[in-house]
Structure 1
Amino acid sequence: MMSDEWTESGQDDQSALVPKDATQHQESARASFASSVFNIMHAIMGSGILGLAYAMSSTGIIGFSLLLLFVAVTAAYSVHLLLVLCEQTALTTYEDLGFCAFKITGKVMVAGAILIQNIGAMSSYLFVIKSELPAAIAGFLHNSYNGTPWYLNGQILLLITVIFVVLPLALLPKIEFLGYTSGLSILFMVYFTIVVVVKKWFVPCPLSNGTVNYFQNFSSECKPKLLQISSKSAYAIPTMAFSFLCHTSVLPIYCELKRPSKSRMQKAVNIGMTLSFLIYMLSALFGYLTFYANVNSQLLHSYSQYLPRDPVIMSVRICILFSVLLTVPLIHFPARKSFMLLFCSSCPFSWLCHILVTLVIQTVIVLLAIYVPNIQNIFGVVGSTTSTALLFIYPGLFYLQISRESLKSSRKLKALGLIILGILIGAVSLLVIIITWLHNEN
């Protein structure tokens, strides 16, 4: 998940407000309805798509479908509440709505959640680099190795990539040009989904013994589960919440929309979420039907192990890696903005502070990518905490506080339901995840 705000953090948040008497130049720079849908999909779709097949394996096809539909509908409604508040208050950022609701406390709540959410997103992307870049290099080599040479070591390659590619881009004061290039990430996600659907018919079940040692113990059972509940199911909704979070980008996209209106923006959100839902559903379904219970928590890794030199899989891997390299610096900008708001809000822009904050954030996400053993842990923890807060809890909480409607009105009752739902989902999922960790360690 990523924000469309790519300028540096030293500016006043109120500068994002669009005056009613906008100039002709500003009007001509506004985004079309189609491009707004594209931007929403861009904000929604990210590394979460790689973990949804695993979520389906832990909940079953029917269970997953119902949960994914529920999260998508709920996400669309929480965006509706934010748009209503935006119309009532003329505020255009999530942080400003937090300030309007609970003053500095509300703004800090939102900034902290966005910071943690973006750190989790960047860590998941770097985890993909760590696991897929060695496979991408090995796919072009045909030698056998006794051990792992340095150029196939995921941690070394991750450090090289961050130091020489990600960090220089993240240090730039402005990064607008990457905003256009990284729009290719949606096309890569669509291409990834098409390959997942097609490859389902070329991968045998059970997987052939001897292809890769990892799959020699693959279960002979090739029947999909329709409904399943286990400790792994606790990762499902957090992963879905992580995958559908676009709320920090919706309001800036709203400001750029031609002929902006709440109903027009809501329609764009609904279309963007529906298309994202279809892409998510297809990739998860056919990824699960390819590997069944043995699907990896990072779907592409399953293909990497079973089809290490398949040219189509190699092309998908390269596309995903290219998308990651462009997206991580973009996500870094709103993360740094939130960090500055939390810890250096009164400080003017300085290159020293800019560089130090960048290095701190980069160090944290690299350490997480190196030492977190499973990408599902990132989806689970971040999804059950900040994702549920930004998607469920904060929209409902801010609406209850800001809106002047009666407490018994339909919207306020639904807002209260969102708050309760978010707290329950987050608390139960996080508790089960922690218990699972403790159980596995014992």
Structure 2
Amino acid sequence: MAQVSINADHGEWSLSTDAGERARLLQSPCVDTAPKSEREASSGDLGRGTTSTLGAVFIVVNACLGAGLLNFPAAFSTAGGVAAGVTLQMGMLVFIISGLVILAYCSQASNERTYQEVVWAVCGKLTGVLCEGAIATYTFGTCIAFLIIIGDQQDKIIAVMAKEPEGAHGSPWYADRKFTISLTAFLFILPLSIPREIGFQKYASFLSVVGTWYVTAIIIIKYIWPDKEMTPGDILTRPASWIAVFNAMPTICFGFQCHVSSVPVFNSMRQPEVKTWGGVVTAAMVIALAVYMGTAALNWCLESARNCSQHGGCRGDGRTWSRPHRIDGLERQSYKSKPGVRKGFRHTGICGFLTFGAAVDPDVLLSYPSEDMAVAVARAFIILSVLTSYPILHFCGRAVVEGLWLRYQGMPVEEDVGRERRRRVLQTLVWFLLTLLLALFIPDIGKVISVIGGLAACFIFVFPGLCLIQAKLSEMEEVKPASWWALVSYGVLLVTLGAFIFGQTTANAIFVDLLA
């Protein structure tokens, strides 16, 4: 096996080892962490953790499923229908899994345990600083999306309690969206964000899983048995142009981005081996795909289109079709009699898109009637999950900001507790107030995801590609085999693809979404 030597000299960035909260706080809620000195002192157990293989699968799944779930139906509409959305996801899944494996390989080679530490060690100072800046920006944008989601769901819940449409004229002051978001944020999110340590992370993971699967179940059920008030729009069957397909990439990248937390998860395993990790991430991505995309999606489309043509429910210009407003007894029996169709129901993005078509909201739960109690419970689950997820994302971003600040100032690690506390409170207040202010004036999560989805592409493609290139270039071999050239070429492909997605989606977000 080729000998690897990756940036063994860490002198230029050693201040971040224990500075403040350090970037290792980006670890998954379920990952046990020990200081690096303790890890190095332990004999025979270097890099060994307590997480089982099955546990690692579910941790990665938890990291994948989140706020992006609500935006997936709109992504299918943007991509030009189910076929385009499914094809795009399947194609990107290969790169997503390979990126996770590359990060594990580089983590093992560099003996680092977090995403940004791996990038620092493998790619050097400049790329490491860019990575930390990207992580801080990404977590900041995600926190904004969380606050917008809280406001969206509260509007609907308040409308149910007040028995009036949300946003109606003459609503009391306490039902105003800006007031409810601010009140919830100050009462719950801010107190949970200030502490130095977050001990409730494991509960947040549990709530996220329960809420995600409940929302998925509700969207599927509402597709099979739609309410009378739900009026679907036209269903696109192919994209208007190839550019439209790429416009769905931010949501897909945002939904599958678990790479930042994948490195600590890998190092927390009892047997942190690249081969085992490959099986873990493959299983995790298949599970996430089952939620985002489902099984037999294309079969569903074919069967649904056939049923529509048989029962007179289709119309369109060859690029769109419309499902019947209600499934009558004959149609419902026809749908139930086809196993392939039933399998196709197992999907949030597809069912949400096919329920509302082009009329689907960027947050799919907003498309459902306010008075639907089952959907109201789903909204409550989402709010509860987001309330505990915001502090965790803020915690990660604050750790990166703290490390960058201490490194820039050249401050010693051994500081008095008072200075650290004052700095932490100031960082938290600035972060909290900025995200709250932006969330009050940004109309929907689609605007945020269109921006930070490009950064997610950097975590999935660009940084793993750079790490792979640098890792292979560091191998001390006089004659480079064909596999070496193949891996370097693949790294170049990842960087090129990621840079293209980032540039295209960011430019589109600026010139189409933000300036519209």
What is the TM-score normalised by the length of structure 1? 0.87
Aligned partner of 2:385 in structure 1 is 323
Cα distance change, pair 337–129 in 1 and its aligned pair in 2 (3 A): same
Q: 1:291 aligns with which of 356, 365, 373?
A: 356
Whole-angstrom distance in 1 between the partners of 2:430 and 2:44: 40
| Aligned match of 1:302 | 367
The code of the aligned residue for 1:118 comes to T
2:326 matched to 1:264? no
User: Structure 1, residues 79-108: CA drift from partner, whole Å, max 9, x if none?
Assistant: 111111112121111222222234322221
1:199 is the counterpart of 2:253: no
TM-score, L = length of structure 2 = 0.75
In the TM superposition, residue 22 of structure 1 has moved relative to its aligned partner by: 5.6
How do 1:424-439 and structure 2 match up within 5 A? 424-437=500-513
Provide the rounded CA distance (Å) in 2 between the counterparts of 1:296 and 1:422: 27
In 2, the alpha carbon distance for the partners of 1:438 and 1:250 equals 31
The aligned counterpart of 2:134 is 113
Check whether the contact 1:9–1:336 (CA below 8 A) recurs between aligned residues.
Answer: no
Q: Which stretch shows the higher mean deviation, 276-285 or 363-372?
A: 363-372
Q: Check whether the contact 1:58–1:228 (CA below 8 A) recurs between aligned residues.
A: no
Q: Whose Rg is larger?
A: 2
8 Å Cα contact 1:55/1:233 also seen in 2: no
Question: What letter corresponds to residue 201 of structure 2 in structure 1?
Answer: L
Could you say if the C-alpha distance between residues 311 and 168 of structure 1 is closer, same or farther in structure 2, counting changes exceeding 3 Å? same
Write out aligned runs for 1:175-324 (5 A): 175-203=198-226, 208=229, 219=233, 221=234, 223-229=235-241, 233-281=245-293, 282-303=347-368, 307-324=369-386
Q: Secondary structure at the match of 1:279?
A: helix
Residue pair 2:106, 2:122 contacting (<8 A) in 1 also: no
2:488 aligned with 1:412: yes
What are the superposed Cα offsets for residues 265-316 of structure 1, whole Å, 9 maximum, x if unpaired? 221111111101110111000000100010001111111xxx2111110111
For 2:174, the equivalent position in structure 1 comes to: 151
What CA deviation, in whole Å up to 9, does each residue of 1:202-245 have, x standing for no partner? 326xx75xx8xxx7xx75x4x44244438764431011111111
Q: Which amino acid aligns with 2:421?
A: W
Describe the shift of the 1:12–1:423 C-alpha distance in structure 2 as closer, same or farther (beyond 3 A). closer
Q: Distance in 2 between matches of 1:158 and 1:12?
A: 29
Whole-Å separation in 2 of the counterparts to 1:287 and 1:253: 32
Paired residue for 1:47? Answer: 67
Tell me the residue number matched to 2:21: 10
Aligned to 1:3: none
- Tell me which moved more, 387-396 or 65-74: 65-74
Q: Report the Cα distance in structure 2 between the residues aligned to 1:42 and 1:22, rounded to whole angstroms.
A: 32
SS at match of 2:124: helix
Amino acid at match of 1:352: R
Letter paired with 2:146: Y
Change (3 A) 1:365 1:8: farther
CA pair 353-34 structure 1, distance change in 2 beyond 3 A: same
Q: Which residue of 1 aligns with 2:107?
A: 86
Distance 1:390 1:12, change over 3 A: closer
Counterpart-to-counterpart distance in 1, 2:515 and 2:435 = 26
The alpha carbon displacement at 1:16 in A equals: 4.6
Aligned residues: 418
Q: Provide the C-alpha distance between the structure 2 equivalents of 1:137 and 1:16, rounded to a whole number of angstroms.
A: 49
RMSD: 2.6
1:12 is displaced (CA, Å) by 8.2
1:71–1:237 Cα contact (<8 Å) kept: no
> What is the CA-CA distance between 1:194 and the residue it aligns to?
1.0
How far apart are 1:261 and its partner, in Å? Answer: 1.2
Partners of 1:23 and 1:84 lie apart in 2 by 20
Question: Counterpart of 2:432?
Answer: 362
**Conserved? CA contact 1:56–1:288, under 8 Å:** yes
Q: Which of 499, 505, 514 is equivalent to 1:423?
A: 499
Task: Report SS of the residue matched to 1:409.
Answer: helix
**Match of 1:176, SS?**
coil
Amino acid at match of 1:432: N
For 2:469, the equivalent position in structure 1 comes to 400
Structure 1 partner of 2:186 = 163
What per-residue deviation string (whole Å, max 9, x for no partner) do you get for residues 7-56 of structure 1? 994358593584484689x96x6112222111111111110111110010
Choose 258-267 or 277-286, whichever is displaced more. Answer: 258-267
- What's the CA shift string for 1:110-169, capped at 9, x where partnerless? 110110111111111111011111211322333676422223212111111111100101
Tell me how far apart the structure 2 counterparts of residues 230 and 401 of structure 1 sit (CA, whole Å): 33
- Distance in 2, matches of 1:173 and 1:428, equals 38
Cα deviation code 1:363-390 (max 9, x no counterpart): 2211221122221111111112x21111
Say whether residues 1:389 and 2:461 are aligned partners: no
What's the counterpart of residue 329 of structure 2?
none
**Residue 32 (str. 1) matches residue 52 (str. 2):** yes
Cα separation, partners in 2 of 1:439 and 1:9, compared to 1, 3 Å: closer
The answer (yes or no) to whether the contact 1:135–1:152 under 8 Å persists in 2 is no
State the partner residue of 1:173. Answer: 196
Q: Rate the CA distance shift 1:254–1:371 in 2: closer, same or farther, 3 A.
A: same
Quote the Cα distance in structure 2 between the aligned partners of 1:160 and 1:80.
43
Q: Flag structure 1 segments of 5+ consecutive residues without an equivalent.
A: 1-6
Once the two structures are superposed, the pairs formed by residues 121-136 of structure 1 within 5 Å of their partners are 121-136=142-157
Say whether the 8 Å CA contact 2:23–2:403 is kept in structure 1: no
**Cross-structure match for 2:313:** none
User: What is the letter of the counterpart of residue 355 of structure 1?
Assistant: V
- The corresponding residue for 2:443 is 373
Deviates more, 1:137-146 or 1:10-19: 10-19
Q: Distance in 2 between matches of 1:344 and 1:371?
A: 33
